Structure formats: structure tokens, C-alpha cells
Amino acid sequence: MSENTNFLINIRKRFGNFTLDIDCKLQEKVTTILGASGSGKTTLLNCISGTLSPDEGRIVFGNQTYFDSESKINVPPDKRHLGYIFQEGYLFPHLTVEKNIRYGQSRLQRKNRNSISQVVEILEISQLLERYPNQLSGGQRQRVAIARALAMEPQLLLMDEPLASLDGGLKSRIIPYLHHIKNNFEIPIIYVTHAIIEAMALADEAFLLDDGKITASGEPNQILASPSALPIAHLTGVENIYSLPVASSDQQRGITELEIGKQHLVIPYIDVEIGKSVPVAIRAEDIIISLEPNLPISARNILEGIVDEVEDQTMLSILVEGHSFLVKITHEARQQLEISKGKNVYCVIKANAINLLWQDS
Amino acid sequence: MRITSAEVAALLLSIKVSLFSLVVMLPPGLLVGWLLAKREFRGKSILNTFVMLPLVLPPVVSGYLLLLLLGKNGPIGRLLSNVFNIEVIFTPFAVVIAISVISFPLLVQGIMTGMSSVPSELENAARTLGASPLKVFFTITFPLAYRGVIGGIILGFSKSLGEFGATIMVAGNIPGKTQTVALAIFEAVHLGQDISAFRLVLISTVLAFISIWITERITISKNRIY
């Protein structure tokens, strides 16, 4: 967001036992709100878009007040001029792709044939304009939905898990389009997701939403380094997140080594300068516990550590060079290896099981 | 064996009053259908009950209640006769009122079903794209509820064509004035004119067949794409 457009959100909304209680100020171009399902993400976006009214509070974008319970202001959604991209797309089934895209345009824009050419080009949907939504694939549909929101030239873009309904391969194909939008349009974006990797791909600033409340905020890598990283990780199904400096990088061997104390963590090659910290995530299920360091296996990482805690029967916390690794094993494995607090063990991790969360462009 | 002028008059009257009733009742039908399908408000179930009542009441009872309201001593009848000098009872206008009341629930039900099937998320999406509630209704809700609306229209129209009980109560059975096809059939059977009755039965059946066939054609061709 430019220097003088702050977005102030201070609202409360109750649904039975659930209360959304938000007080935040968004200042960056792309703000990501990260939270598990049921944390209130969509409710928050609906309050911002005006399709839902908060019980009380204020929503102020720049010098426009969208909602103010005290002075009884509640601007209807059609007057807020916000582009809203929904998880399921919600294209109008009885209109062609072109008519869908032009739906939000003013009369003047609609007369101008070229008024959608930029979004059509960036999202690569010029071949689809005559089709109907049910003749599109999932990825195409979501691109059209994004185009439709952009074509109305909104002053703010709301994205509600736009990739959630797509499978893995399609997701990675849409992400570049989102980068294009971030770089080509001067529109601030609020991006809501439960997927940490998606969240960090675009964000300038991130907020963590947990049970209707914001529990952490900051730059994405700050959030990852803060004590609130652990709850984020649990929320989003990735238990281990570390920010580690690059020790060496070898494009020919296809690997990059990160420093973790005196040991090294090998990950697939990334183009990052040496000494710079990168955030990585490892799922607790992807770590194997071994009692021996010298194993004839393909996994690139065999890290020495000490069992710090046996959280419950199947979740271990292993201390490796001061970093705690959460590892999920079976009850039987734990008994056979006689794992107990203080025991020396080795964490075996495939390089490809280590996900890069986010990378400076 | 040629069709008699009385039969033609009954047939034309039936079609005229049914079309007139449809044109008059469609706007309120759309409004009430939309309210019941899409809005939450106090008294919604009362409105619903009130609209649907003629569907479960015997038509003769509805007709009798209308007679009480519209008759010379009824509150509405007295008003019309004192202020506008209009007598409603036993006129073609009474036929229109009777069939409108009886067919309205069917019209509303079709519209309601059609509109309920339009996801409110699509309507909300349209709102965020700058559409006023009225634009959302005409560009999203109505086109997507098309099938239901047509279904309600055809059901209501067919009901109007064949309405008997309420009509005879408020409009009587005056040949050439208030005698619709249904009433003419009743009279023909009553007088033992079996051939005349049979002709009218045949005509009603063909009319019903055509109206359903037209609906099918319209809904299929219009909705092929989605």
C-alpha cells in the first residue's frame, strides 16, 4: 500500500461460540493472513467486503470508512470497490468467460474492447473468452475468477484461498500469475490461506489468525523466527520450521547446504547467496530416527541429536544443535529403539522432504 | 358435430382470464418468491402460510371466503361499490380474482424453488463486483432461476385454466360472461350433453399438453450450456 493508504480493521463478530475479534493495521502491498480452517479467515474477508456486517467496530481504508458501528456507517458491498477472489471461483454459470470478466466493469469500460486485454494477457485466457464456466478446467476457472476481480479495477484485492481447490501441480502453475499481479498492478492484496508455503510466497507482511484473534504479525521471516512459529506450524500441518543460513551452494551437484550449528542440512539447490538465511519446513512424519550414523541410504541428511522430550507416545522432540525437531514415530518403533529422554539419536531426512518456505526475489 | 359458439366463448374466456391473471400475478409472484427464497425477516412463516393456504383449502372454501370479502356486504365489496361504483361478484373480473388466488401458491412455489437453487455466494460475488441488489436480481438470480420460474408459470397457468370450485362461488356460471371451460364441462355433463363435454375435455387436454411441451422446449434450449 502506498504511504498514505492504511487499512484499519477493528471489528468484532460473534457466531454462537465463535468470536472474531480483530484489531490490526495493514500497511504493506501484500498482506497474508494465515490460519487454520475455522480460525475466522473467510468471516474476516466477508466483513471487509461488506457481504457480512460485523457486530461492532470500524473498517477504514485510506480516507474511506466502510464500516463504523458508532456512526452507523455500513457501505454496501457494491460501493466498496474491492475485488474478491473466492476459493471456489463462483463464476456465473450462465455467462461466457468474457461476460463474466466484464460483469464488474463500468459502462464506459465495457464499451472499450481493450479494457480487459491486460488481464486477459497476463492470465493467458484469451483462448477461453467464448466458453462457459463448465467448459473450463479448475485452473482455468480460477484464472478467470482472478481476471474478473481485476477487470473491475478494484482499489484492493481480497483473495480467499484462491489455490485451495486446485491440486498440487495446478497450484504451482497459478502462483506465477499471482506474482505477475503483485508486480504489474498497483493494487494492495489481502491474501488469506491455511497453506504456509503459499502464504510466504507472496507476502510482504503476515498475520497469524488463531480462533478469531490475531496472535502474531510481522515480516514473513520474522514470524517464522518468532516463538509463534510453532503454533503456525502446528496450525498449518508443518511441525518444523527453521531459518538457517546458507553455507554452500552447488548448482552442478544440485544441492545447497544450510548451517545448523556445526552440522549441515542438505536441501535441493536454490540460488541464494552464501550467508543469507532461508526459512525451511520439515513435516514431523518425514523424519526417520536411527540409532546409527553410518547408514547405506539415499537420504542426504543424518543429523546427530539428543531426545529432549517424549511429548506423547508417538511425538518426539529431538534437540539438534539447539534446534528442536519434532518427529512422529510409531509406538512400536519407539519401544524397539528404546527411545527415552536423553538418548543419543540420529535424524534421517531426505533433501527433497525439506521445503523452502519463501525466497526473496 | 361442429363446435358451438358457447364452447368457443368458454374456451376464449378461460384463456383470456388465465393470461390476464398471469400477467397481473407474475410481478407479485416474483417478489414474494424472492422474499421467501432469499430473505430473512419477521413474519416470513406467516407470509408463507398465507400464500400457500389456498393450496390446502378446498377451492370452494377459498371461493366462499372471497365471496364474503368481495360481496355487497363484504369489506372490500362495499368499498368498491361505494367508492368506485364497481360490482365484482358474478363478473369476468371475479373469475380473474378467483383463479389468481388459487393459482398464486403454485406460481410462487415454482419461483421459490428456482430462486432457492441459486447459490447466495454467486449473488454475493455479484455484489462485490459492484452490482446493486436490483442488478443482481435481474442478471444473476432471475436468469439462473429460469427453470423454476417457467415451471411455476406453467403450473399456475394450467391451474387457472382448469379452476372450478372458487370460480363458481364468486363468478357463478353465466354462459358467455363467466363460464370458463371447466364450468362449461360441468354444465354439459349436468345436462347430459356428452358430446359437448367430450369436445371440451379434449380441448383442455390438448391445451395442457401444448403448454407443458412448450415449457420443456424453452427450458431445454435455454439451459443447454449450463
Strands of A203-290, DSSP E: 205-210, 213-218, 240-250, 255-260, 263-268, 277-282, 287-290
Please give the average per-residue pLDDT across A248-262, as a whole number. 92
pLDDT tens for each residue of B164-188: 999 999 999 999 899 999 999 999 9
Burial class (CB in 10 A: 0-12, 13-18, 19+), B36: buried
CATH number of the CATH domain containing B73: 1.10.3720.10
ipTM: 0.78
| Per-residue pLDDT tens over the stretch A108-128 | 888 887 888 888 988 889 999
Largest CA distance in chain A: 75
Please choose, from the candidates B13, B154, B25, the residue with its C-alpha nearest in 3D space to the C-alpha of residue B92: B13
Q: What domains are defined for chain A? A: 7-236 (3.40.50.300), 240-356 (2.40.50.100)
Mean pLDDT of B97-109: 96
A136 neighbourhood in chain B, CB within 8 Å: none
Distances (CA, A) of B111 to A94, A225, A259, B38, B173: 18, 57, 67, 11, 32
Asked if residue B73 belongs to a domain, the reply is yes
- Quickly tell me which residue has 455484489 as its cell: B127
Mean pLDDT of B28-47: 95
Quote the domain boundaries for residue B208: 5-221
**pLDDT above 80 for A166:** no
| Amino acid at residue number B9 | A
- Chain A residues inside the 8 Å CB shell of B139: 103
pLDDT of res. A3: 47
Mutate to test the interface with B, among A75, A90, A136 (most CBs of B within 10 A): A90
CB-CB under 8 Å, A148 with B129: yes
Q: How many CB atoms lie within 10 A of CB B23?
A: 9
Is residue B92 domain-resident?
Answer: yes
CA separation for the pair A103, A110 (Å, rounded): 9
Q: Comparing C-alpha atoms, which of A202, A156, A151 is closest to residue A62?
A: A156
DSSP per residue, A213-227: EEEEEE-HHHHHHST
Give the pLDDT band of residue A259 (cuts 50, 70, 90). very high
Please give the pLDDT value at position A225: 56
- Is B110 part of a structural domain of the chain? yes
A189 has pLDDT over 50? yes
Pairwise CA distance, residues A56 & A70, whole Å: 8
Domain count, chain B: 1
- The chain B residue lying nearest A48, using CA atoms, is B128
Residue B226 lies in a domain: no
Q: Taking CB atoms and an 8 Å cutoff, what residues of chain A touch B131?
A: 78, 103-104
Distance from CA of A130 to the nearest CA of B (A): 12
Structure-block grid coordinates of residue A224: 517464522
Residues facing residue A32 across a β-bridge: A191, A206
- Helix and strand numbers (H, E) in chain A are 10, 21
Contact status, residue A30 vs residue A191, Cβ threshold 8 Å: yes
What's the confidence (pLDDT) of residue A237? Answer: 62
Amino acid at A100: N
Top-ranked range on mean pLDDT: pick from A279-293, A311-325, B128-142:
B128-142
Encode pLDDT of A325-347 as tens digits.
989 899 899 989 999 899 999 99
Helix (H) or strand (E) holding A15: strand A7-15
